[in-house]
Amino acid sequence: MPMLPEIEERWSAQGYTSKDIGKDTLHRVLDAARQSPSAKNRQEWRFVVATKADLRRKLADAAFGQEQVASAPVIIAACTTNIDYRMPNGQLSYPIDLAVSVAFMMLQARHDGVDSCAVTTFNELDVKDLLSVPHAMRVVSLVTLGYAADERPPRERKSLQDIVGYEHW
């Protein structure tokens, strides 16, 4: 059984062409986040979409000028609406919930032929101010979307043998 092509073919774009991704794809990407799983199905999230050029420029500045943020036609900020909920294992649920939603968005984007990158290198306070995110909430990740300007580099990963243990660590 082959691997999902979206998993095989997704990679983190480092710069985009000016071609827009289209409303239908954007809708499907956001719906992928909506349909992703969350702890106790609490869905404590909000996704803020930036498409206007001046706002995207300022977000790129908040992301320390990263080229892929500067050139992306669409930037989605994946935010939590609850920073307190802990799961029975004692861990906060929102970083995991939001990370899963980001993965779903990137895979749906790939399915639609659109490239993406998760971006966490940013000044969170600046991003909050730009997108009017309440200061008590957190911006977990930005997701840039568009058509990559460059070729995909070779994928570098550890082997399964290096990262998997059966029945013990």
Query: Which residues of the chain form contacts with ligand FMN (CB under 6 A)?
Result: 11-12, 14, 66, 68, 117-121, 155
Q: Which residue has the tokens 């996704």?
A: 47
Nearer to ligand FMN, 11 or 104 (CB): 11
Nearer to ligand FMN, 163 or 168 (CB): 163
CB of 66 to ligand FMN, least distance (A): 6
Please, which residues have CB within 8 angstroms of residue 6's CB and are 6 or more apart in sequence?
107, 108, 110, 111
CB of 142 to ligand FMN, least distance (A): 8
Nearer to ligand FMN, 3 or 88 (CB): 3
Residue of this chain nearest to ligand FMN (CB atom): 121
The answer to whether 98 and 119 are in contact (CB under 8 A) is: no
The answer to whether 142 and 120 are in contact (CB under 8 A) is: yes
Reduced to 3 states, what is the DSSP secondary structure of residue 64? coil
